[in-house]
């Protein structure tokens, strides 16, 4: 209960601060940069070495990519069927596919499964959602906005130099080992900042204005992200008879709300900015209910 109180309180505080214009407009950017360069790498270096090196470590990665790939195909097909514009289709291909598996995923997983879940959460997020954002997300934004050609080298460099990803690669070499107590203490202190900062950043970026003529794409995106995605993950785990913690956490990660960064990418590319922001805003609120339903179904 305490974890959920923190989640709702921090998101609400961020939203109110944004409405009252207390923080500067670039506050979300600053918070996100602190998380990406300090908090997230510290948490990755702290949690990933605690995993046992086995096939279970890669279950979240497999499920993440199958879920995202299936969701993208589903949205692409129905966007064509419903004759959505190129801009709206591009928006849905981003916010309806990419999930908020870190900023919301980490605190929600800690609320349901405790700190022991974080290793699998980070595998799902870094080797799934993040790489998809950097590659698939870049391609979609460029293709549907039709501005420039996709620069493969730039994408590869972006992935290779991303601090959390670098921390993940380093931490994989330390799986099954323990750090000195002083190192562990420092990492723990830095990692503990990720939850409150991430949730406040989420609140600062919430938007709820929904154009009524965008109701169909709005429903398609949230139905795909909050309903279809966890169903795909559940079916995968059933097919492969996965009933371990890695599988349960992967299902929950698949059910997370749309990614805020995906909406930012859509907005920068001119892909239905208001619609993208509305999908993320309402998606975050609805995800508290849908993740609770999914959790009670699988446990």
Model pLDDT for residues 67-107, shown as the tens digit of each residue: 999 999 999 999 999 999 999 999 999 999 999 898 788 88
Neighbours of 141 (CB within 10 A): 23
Is residue 15 situated within a structural domain? no
Dihedral sign of CA atoms 48, 252, 77, 268 in order = negative
Average pLDDT, the chain: 86
Is residue 247 situated within a structural domain? yes
Is residue 16 situated within a structural domain? no
pLDDT of 204 reads 83
Is residue 279 situated within a structural domain? yes
Range of the domain at 288: 2-10+23-298
pLDDT of 117 reads 86
CA dihedral defined by 273, 278, 280, 281, rounded to 10 degrees?
A: 140
pLDDT of 82 reads 93
Residue 272 zone, left/alpha/beta (φ > 0; ψ -120 to 50; rest): left
Is residue 165 situated within a structural domain? yes
pLDDT of 161 reads 79
Residue 238 CB-density burial (10 A; 0-12 exposed, 13-18 middle, 19+ buried) = exposed
Is residue 119 situated within a structural domain? yes
pLDDT of 52 reads 73
Is residue 18 situated within a structural domain? no
Task: Give the total number of structural domains in the chain.
Answer: 1
Query: What are the Cα distances from residue 217, in Å, to 74, 203, 212?
Result: 13, 23, 10
Is residue 177 situated within a structural domain? yes
pLDDT of 146 reads 64
How far apart (Å, rounded) are the C-alpha atoms in residues 49 and 46? 7
pLDDT of 147 reads 57
- pTM higher than the cut 0.85: no
CATH code at 95? Answer: 1.20.1530
pLDDT of 278 reads 85
Taking 50 as the pLDDT cut, the residues of the chain under it are none
pLDDT of 81 reads 95
């Amino acid at each position: 209960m305490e974890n959920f109180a923190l989640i709702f309180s921090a998101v609400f505080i961020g939203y109110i601060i944004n409405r009252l214009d207390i923080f500067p407009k670039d506050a979300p950017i600053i918070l996100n940069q602190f998380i990406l360069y300090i908090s997230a790498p510290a948490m990755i270096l702290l949690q990933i070495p605690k995993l046992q090196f086995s096939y279970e470590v890669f279950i979240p990665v497999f499920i993440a990519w199958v879920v995202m790939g299936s969701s993208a195909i589903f949205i692409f097909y129905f966007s064509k069927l419903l004759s959505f514009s190129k801009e709206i289709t591009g928006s849905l291909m981003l916010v309806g596919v990419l999930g908020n598996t870190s900023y919301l995923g980490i605190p929600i997983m800690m609320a349901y499964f405790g700190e022991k879940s974080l290793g699998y959460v980070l595998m799902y997020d870094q080797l799934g959602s993040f790489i998809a954002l950097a590659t698939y997300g870049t391609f979609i934004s460029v293709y549907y906005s039709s501005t420039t050609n996709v620069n493969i080298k730039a994408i590869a460099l972006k992935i290779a130099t991303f601090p959390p990803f670098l921390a993940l690669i380093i931490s994989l070499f330390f799986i099954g080992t323990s750090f000195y107590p002083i190192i562990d203490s420092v990492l723990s202190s830095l990692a503990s900042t990720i939850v409150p900062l991430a949730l406040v950043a989420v609140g600062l970026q919430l938007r709820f204005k929904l154009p009524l003529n965008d109701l169909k794409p709005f429903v398609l995106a949230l139905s795909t992200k909050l309903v279809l995605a966890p169903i795909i993950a559940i079916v995968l785990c059933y097919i492969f008879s996965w009933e371990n913690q890695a599988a349960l956490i992967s299902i929950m990660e698949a059910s997370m709300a749309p990614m805020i960064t995906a909406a930012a990418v859509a907005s920068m590319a001119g892909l239905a900015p208001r619609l993208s922001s509305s999908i993320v805003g309402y998606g975050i609120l609805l995800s508290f209910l849908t993740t609770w339903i999914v959790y009670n179904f699988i446990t």
